[in-house]
Amino acid sequence: MKIKKGDIVKIMAGKDKGKQGKVLRVDPVAGKILIEGINLMKKHRRPKKQGEKGEIISLPRFMDVSNVMIICGSCSMPARIGYRVEDGNKFRYCKKCKSNI
């Protein structure tokens, strides 16, 4: 999987199409990612202590990695990612501007 935790991604499909967010978690086995503030669901939370009220909170849900594109740091555009090996180190690079990510 070419997307890692901490990357900035743009949503290309779904109800949040066009929005950008930071990747919080990655599940490489399932091919899903969790993005901050995107694909939110409402969860009803019951009171934990006596006298406390229940509440409805919004939580991000996992989204398929095929529905997002990574934002390049240098050209600030959604781009495909490639791998390059230089001096025994492996780098990800933007296929539009050819700079390392």
Residues 65 and 83: their CA atoms lie apart, in Å, by 18
pLDDT tens digit at each of 101 positions of the chain: 899 999 999 999 999 999 999 999 999 999 999 999 999 999 999 999 999 999 999 999 999 999 999 999 899 999 999 999 999 999 999 999 999 98
Which residue, 75, 86, 85, is CA-closest to 94? 75
3-class DSSP state of 53:
coil
Q: What is the pTM of this model?
A: 0.84
Looking at CATH, the fold of the domain delimited by 8-73 is given as: SH3 type barrels. (2.30.30)
Domain ranges of the chain: 8-73
pLDDT value of residue 101 = 85
In this structure, which amino acid lies at residue 10? K
